[in-house]
Chains A and B, each alone.
Chain A
Amino acid sequence: GAGVSQSPRYKVAKRGQDVALRCDPISGHVSLFWYQQALGQGPEFLTYFQNEAQLDKSGLPSDRFFAERPEGSVSTLKIQRTQQEDSAVYLCASSPGAGDSPLHFGNGTRLTVT
């Protein structure tokens, strides 16, 4: 596709459930980022991949959060045993990975934990 695609668009989970959020980056983009955005706030960095290698996961808030990009294309962000504080919009972005490349964002997945 022409842009970054994220699915599902909305996800409602009961507290304690596991969720998986998918990101399809722009074809050929080397770098992929996950951000978490609380209501009315700026995006907060979660993790970063260069191809299939996870180079930075310093922003993952707990060991309940796990991200993968096994073939260097599609990525999945998994949250285990969801908590109410996990409710947020999860944004995925990709870039060609060359120099000062801007990020191309998807429309995000809005997660609500009840």
Chain B
Amino acid sequence: SQQGEEDPQALSIQEGENATMNCSYKTSINNLQWYRQNSGRGLVHLILIRSNEREKHSGRLRVTLDTSKKSSSLLITASRAADTASYFCAWANFGNEKLTFGTGTRLTIIP
């Protein structure tokens, strides 16, 4: 079973708007990662944030991490139809390469 949650479960927005999704976890972590999954495909790594970092940017992506609240958020700015996918957070504990995944957010961008 999952050891964390993501919300919202599903999100529909107009193209050009920003999309924010949130992730909560329950353990102490070494890093937290976000992945994207298109329907019927594998997961693609988007961004990694380490436990001693609070914010990270990559192109239109912005990730924040609050270890005191055990939560992270992913912001996608200026959304495009091609951003339609499911997004998963995943975290690794110290000394362990294994990732535990959240429940995912299904994002739909309306053209």
Contact = CB atoms under 8 A, between A and B. Distances in A.
Q: Is the interface of B mostly helix, strand, loop or mixed?
A: strand
A105 B43 contact: yes
B92 to A, nearest CB: 8
Interface stretch (B14-22, B63-71, B100-108): B100-108
B80 interface: no
Contact of B101 (A31, A44, A97, A106): A44
A102 B42 contact: no
Contact of B97 (A42, A43, A44, A48): A48
A103 B98 CA distance: 9
Name the residue among B42, B48, B100 with the largest chain A CB count within 10 angstroms: B42
Contact of A56 (B33, B88, B98): B98
A100 B96 CA distance: 10
Contact of A102 (B1, B33, B103): B33
A4 interface: yes
B77 interface: no
Contacts of A62: none
A25 interface: no
Interface string A70-111: 000000000000000000000101010100111111111000
A65 interface: no
Contacts of A93: 42-43
A103 B104 contact: no
Contacts of A33: 98-99
A103 B41 contact: no
Given A42-B2, A91-B43, A103 B99 contact: yes
Interface of B: 1-2, 30-31, 33, 35, 40-45, 48, 50, 88, 90, 92, 97-104
10 contacts: A4-B42, A31-B97, A41-B2, A42-B88, A45-B98, A101-B97, A103-B35, A105-B43, A106-B42, A107-B41
Interface of A: 4, 31, 33, 35, 40-45, 48, 56, 91, 93, 95, 97, 100-108
